[in-house]
Amino acid sequence: MASGTTPAPDGTAPAAGERPPALRIRARRSVEAHLGSDDVAHVIYGAIIGLALVVAIGAHPPAPGRVAATLLGSALAVGLAEAYSELVAADARTHLPADATRIRHVLRASSAVVFGAGFPAAFFVLAAAGLFAAETAFTLAKWTGLAVIFAYGYFGARLSGSSVGGALVKAAAVGAIGGALIVLKALVH
């Protein structure tokens, strides 16, 4: 292989004069690093909470701006509750007060919950700005929430060595949580 060239991810050399897709390689490594982090569990947890809130609020929906504020406030409350409970539990478990490292770790984890739970608010901010109807915001929030939960299940399973079929089964199992919320709402309302 010529000096200065990098092998492709599959181990083959790039074609003469062709550069490996560096952005794609960096993106894949970034996704794999994220999926290998503790953040995944927290984002999934937050996404399930966000989806549950969207489904519950949809029964008697207020204006889109209010929905966005409710989702963001709830996401922040859940994130702060998680941070507080993790810090108290760690203090009790270790018999030591929280140091800066532990606080940073807990805040990072709880910020992933806030992101997962608060993400649907973006659709309601856009609806409040008049870019689409509130009903569209509810539809997008529900189905993207379900898609996020499903995608995390699928990619997590693939990275753990599951076949495509096995990963789809695992993703369907975790996606069933979100699907059950949507179906329950449809049956009740």
* 21 part of a folded domain: no
Q: How many domains does the chain have?
A: 1
The answer to whether residue 20 is domain-embedded is no
128 within domain boundaries: yes
| Domain presence at residue 148 | yes
2: pLDDT strictly greater than 50: no
pTM of model > 0.85: no
pLDDT digits (tens, 9 = 90+) for 65-81: 999 999 999 999 999 99
Report d(CA 138, CA 101) in Å as an integer.
39
122-180 pLDDT, tens digit per residue, is 999 999 999 999 999 999 999 999 999 899 889 888 888 999 999 999 999 888 877 78
The domain in which residue 155 lies consists of: 38-188
Does residue 16 form part of some domain? Answer: no
